[in-house]
Structure 1
C-alpha cells in the first residue's frame, strides 16, 4: 500500500505560545518530531502554515506543504496536505509529540488492513483523573468504545488494562480521513472537545493499539520539563 506520515504544525497555540518552535534541550520541538519520523524510513510531509516553522527543518529531507492558517484542526491540515496525493494510508503524527517509535508506526499501518482508523493507548494510572489526559475504553475486539476527559471506566478495584491514556496519533485510510474532515461536528465531540468522537458517532470503528512505549505531548511548561528529563536520560544512555 502507498503510505506516508504527515506532521501538522500550526504556529499559533492557545496554551503554549509558538509551540512548534519551543526549545526542547536547545532544539525546536517540531525538529524533534520531524527527525523522529524520518528515522522510520517512511515518506514524511510537514504540513504547516508558517515560514518560520519551515526554516527550522529546511535542511532535513522532509517534504513541506503550506496550509491555510484558518484550518480548524490538525486533521484538517493533514487532509489538505494529502488531498492530491496518490496514497492509500496516512498517519497523522502530532507536531507536539517528540517521541517516535518505528514499531508503533508499523503496527498502526498494519491495523489499516482491517480497520478504517487506528490509534494508540498506554496504561497510565497518573492520567486517570487528569482532564487534560484523554482516556479510552475498549470493546472486546480492541476497537474504541468511548473516549473521554473524565476518568473512565469507573473502577472500584484495579483492573488490567485500565486506565488507558489515549495517545493522539492516528492512522487513516485516505478516503476515511477525507470523509471525516467534511462531516459536521457531532454532539459528543462538542461536549467533550474530542474530535475522534465524531467518527464513533458516525459508526466508524477505531482500532486501539496498546503500547508500552513512552509518549508525552507538549502543551504546558510542565510538559517541557517532563519531556526534557526523558530525552536527557535517553541521550545519556546512548552516549
Structure 2
C-alpha cells in the first residue's frame, strides 16, 4: 500500500500576498511545511502552480507537480497531482500550516483503515466566537456531525469536550478524494464556504481525531506574528512543547 502527503500551495492568495513565500523567522512558510512533513518519514509531494514556490524546496527530497492556477481549491490541486499516481491513501496537508507532528500523521493514515476520510480537531475556547475559526461537533463514534463558522454547540453548560476547533488537514482514500472533487458544491458548502460539508451532504463519514498538539495556520499578518513567536520559542528551547 502506497501512502503520500500532498501539500497544495498556490502563489496567489487573497489576504496575505504570495503567502507561501512569506518569511517566517528565517525561511519561507512553504519550506517550514515541507520540511515538517518530510520529518514524518512519509513520501511528500508539493502541488503548486509556481516555479518560485518550487525553487524554495528544490534542495529537499520532495517531488513537485505543477498544477493549473485556476483550480478552485487545495483539494482539487491534490487530486490533480495524484490523477496518474498509484496511491492508496493521501493526506492533504495545507501549505499554510507550519506545525507538523509525526504522531498525528500516523493516526490520520491509520484512521483510513476504517473510514473514507479523517481529519483533526483540538479543544480551543479562544476562537469559539471567531467566524474565521471552524468549529466541529462529533457523534459518539467520533465522526463529524457538522462543521460551522458559527459557535457550535451552543454552550448553555460547561463541557470538558467542546468547543472543538477544526484543524484543516485531511486524510482521504484516493478514490474518495477523486470522487469528492468531481462533485459540484453542496448547498451547505456554499452557505458556510466549507468544502468538507460537501462530504457530509453526500452522506460520507469523516472521522475526527482529537489532538493536544498546537496548530495555527497562516492567513494574515497577525498569524505571521503568532506563528513566528511560537517557532522562535521552540527553536530557543527544543525540549519545550509547541
Please give the TM-score of this superposition, normalised by the length of structure 2: 0.98
1:86 aligns with 2:110: no
1:142 aligns with 2:142: yes
Equivalent-residue separation in structure 2 for 1:156 and 1:169 (angstroms): 29
1:26 CA drift (Å): 2.2
1:9-41 CA-partner distances (Å, limit 9, x unpaired): 000000100000000002000000000000001
After the TM superposition, which residues 76-115 of structure 1 pair with which residues of structure 2 at under 5 Å, given as runs?
A: 76-115=76-115
Unaligned runs of 5+ in 2: none
Unaligned runs of 5+ in 1: none
1:200 aligns with 2:200: yes
| 1:18 corresponds to | 18
Q: Secondary structure at the match of 2:182?
A: coil
1:122 aligns with 2:122: yes
Question: For this pair of structures, how many residues does the alignment match?
Answer: 239
Equivalent-residue separation in structure 2 for 1:60 and 1:130 (angstroms): 37
Q: Secondary structure at the match of 2:31?
A: helix
1:225 aligns with 2:215: no
- The alignment yields a C-alpha RMSD, in angstroms, of 0.7
| 2:214 corresponds to | 214
Q: Secondary structure at the match of 2:76?
A: helix
| 1:153 corresponds to | 153
Q: Secondary structure at the match of 2:237?
A: helix
Q: Secondary structure at the match of 1:154?
A: coil
Equivalent-residue separation in structure 1 for 2:127 and 2:116 (angstroms): 27
Q: After TM superposition, which residue ranges in structure 1, 4 or more long, deviate above 6 angstroms?
A: none
